[in-house]
Each structure stands twice: as structure tokens, then as C-alpha cells.
Amino acid sequence: MRSFVLAAPIAALALLAVAPSAFAADRADLHRGEQLVERYCAGCHAVRQSGASPNAAAPPFRDLHTRYQIDDLAEGLAEGLLTGHPAMPEFEFSPSDVQAIIAYLKSIQTHQDAALPRASGR
């Protein structure tokens, strides 16, 4: 019993030691994702939580959840996004860039619950 009493605070301290680095990594992904969509996508799409898309036909990224499950975009980002119109170039991103873009897209969705991973069985 005594070892359990000592183990719980030690485990809590270990989690606290790891948590800041995980938080920093998440923030780094968000920042990198924001930079990537700003560089490659902002010419046509609104890539922030507000503002209009420069191209009226290009949906704002904050509303992508109305068209897609955000997690489902990862494969297209890695293998090359193709659309039904020729004006959009094809993009292929590295796995770490895809992770950063998906994290950023999730962070700006107008309905955060829509940005959550899909439940199994759907």
C-alpha cells in the first residue's frame, strides 16, 4: 500500500514533466500548419478564423468541416489533392507537414465538434 501512495505522486510529476513538451510540439505543429496553408492556399482560400476567400469559389478553410471530415483530408494532402477544377494546383505534402496542416485546420473549424475524429463504425 505504501509503495502505491508514493508511486501516484511520482507518476503525476512525470506526466507534468512531459506535458509542456507535448504542448510545445502541438503549438509548433499549429504554427507550421498555419504557415503552410498561408503559403500554398491563401491565394484562393480564407485560411484564418475570419475573412473572405480571395477566390469566391474557394471555401474558407474554417468551414471545411461542412464538406469533409478533417481527418479524411490527410490522405489527399499526402498523395496529392485533386479537384474538379483546373485552377487548383495539385499539392503533395510530407507526413509531418500533413500532420501540421490537419492540426491547424482542426483548430480553426467553426464547429469544433465537427473537427473531432470520426467515431468507429461510421
DSSP string, 36-60: HHHHHTTTTS--SSSS--SSTTSPP
**What pLDDT, on the 0 to 100 scale, is given for residue 108?**
95
- Domain made up of 26-115: CATH architecture: Orthogonal Bundle (1.10)
Model pLDDT, residue 20: 47
Render pLDDT for 90-107 as a digit per residue (tens, 0 to 9).
778 899 999 999 999 999
Please say if the pLDDT value at position 58 is more than 60: yes
pLDDT greater at residue 32 or residue 87: 32
- CA gap 47, 58 in Å, rounded: 11
Identify the pLDDT of residue 14. 46
Instruction: For 17-52, write each residue's pLDDT tens digit.
Output: 444 445 555 889 999 999 999 999 999 999 999 999
Structure confidence at residue 12 (pLDDT): 46
| Nearest to 45, CA basis, from 30, 57, 32 | 57
CA distance 78 to 14: 35
Domain boundaries, the chain: 26-115
